[in-house]
């Protein structure tokens, strides 16, 4: 039934009724009525559901027995014959055959999301840095910042802002990747030629990853140096606090490189099922 299919597809996509309603421009109550069978979506909403969940309208509107063949054809175009003439093996039967534009679109989106996630992680790692500097400034009796309580309040406020920005980046990255959720949650078949292309791209990026890892390790190893120097020059004062802030900033830069490359390489692994 249509109601059961809407509920199943929504849960497979990992969305709440509120999220699905927002994407369709309807109320949550409308989605709830569709899933309970109390009402049916109009034709415009059926088309929107078909596009959103990437299924055929036949699958949504007809009984399962009437549409099993149509569903397979929609998931695997020209069953048994690839677009370039390659014959699909038997193990691809019943699976969605990933097309080149889908694979490359997924990798491109994954790269952009990886940068957002990495920036969010770096912000969360570095967020105590302003607090350290402001405390050091108050201890050094800088003008307008002689009260340590005010410095702490300002520092905590900046910390919370940085964490909030990091969370915002995480949410944006997740929303960006939602279009390709089927690749990460459902089985699919990757044709041989496309697999070879993705594997070549993975090998090229692995060299870039090795360089980034070396740079990240270098930053993390050197990160204590500013703190040590600050402690020698100004024991427990502003320079020490600035050294701690630089330590956090350098670690955040290293973590940014590790996180970004890790997310991107995970995308290659998901496509190649490594």
Reported as a single tens digit per residue, the pLDDT across 165-220 is: 999 999 999 988 888 888 888 888 888 888 899 999 999 999 999 999 999 999 99
The per-residue pLDDT for 63 is: 58
Report the C-alpha dihedral over residues 188, 67, 18, 119, rounded to 10 degrees.
20
Distances (CA, A) of 16 to 30, 153, 165, 171, 206: 13, 37, 24, 15, 37
The per-residue pLDDT for 78 is: 36
* DSSP strands (E only) in the chain: 96-97, 188-189
The per-residue pLDDT for 82 is: 39
The per-residue pLDDT for 41 is: 87
Question: pTM to 2 decimals?
Answer: 0.64
The per-residue pLDDT for 189 is: 84
b/e per residue, 155-187, with b = 16+ CB within 10 A? Answer: beebbeebeeebeebbeebeeebeebebbeeee
List of the chain residues with pLDDT < 50: 64-87
The per-residue pLDDT for 92 is: 55
* DSSP strands (E only) in 114-190: 188-189
The per-residue pLDDT for 30 is: 87
């Amino acid at each position: 039934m249509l109601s059961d299919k809407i509920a199943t597809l929504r849960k497979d996509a990992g969305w709440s009724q509120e999220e699905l309603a927002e994407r369709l421009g309807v109320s949550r109550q409308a989605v709830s009525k569709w899933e309970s069978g109390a009402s049916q979506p109009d034709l415009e909403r059926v088309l929107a559901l078909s596009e959103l969940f990437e299924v055929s309208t036949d699958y949504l509107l007809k009984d399962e027995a009437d549409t099993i063949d149509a569903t397979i054809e929609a998931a695997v175009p020209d069953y048994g014959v690839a677009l370039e003439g390659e014959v699909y093996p038997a193990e691809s039967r019943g699976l969605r055959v990933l097309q080149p534009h889908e694979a490359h679109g997924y990798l491109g989106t994954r790269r952009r999301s990886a940068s957002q996630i990495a920036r969010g992680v770096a912000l969360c790692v570095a967020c105590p840095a302003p607090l350290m500097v402001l405390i050091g400034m108050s201890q050094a009796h800088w003008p307008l910042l002689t009260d340590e309580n005010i410095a702490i309040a300002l520092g905590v406020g900046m910390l919370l802002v940085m964490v909030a920005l990091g969370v915002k980046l995480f949410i944006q990255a997740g929303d960006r990747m939602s279009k390709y959720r089927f690749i990460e949650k459902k089985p699919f078949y990757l044709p041989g030629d496309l697999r070879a292309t993705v594997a070549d791209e993975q090998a090229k990026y692995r060299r870039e990853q090795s360089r980034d890892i070396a740079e990240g390790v270098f930053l993390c190893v050197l990160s204590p140096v500013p703190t040590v120097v600050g402690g020698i020059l100004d024991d427990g004062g502003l320079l020490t606090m600035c050294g701690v802030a630089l330590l956090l900033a350098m670690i955040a830069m290293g973590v940014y490189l590790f996180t970004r490359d890790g997310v991107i390489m995970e995308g290659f692994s998901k496509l190649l099922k490594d």
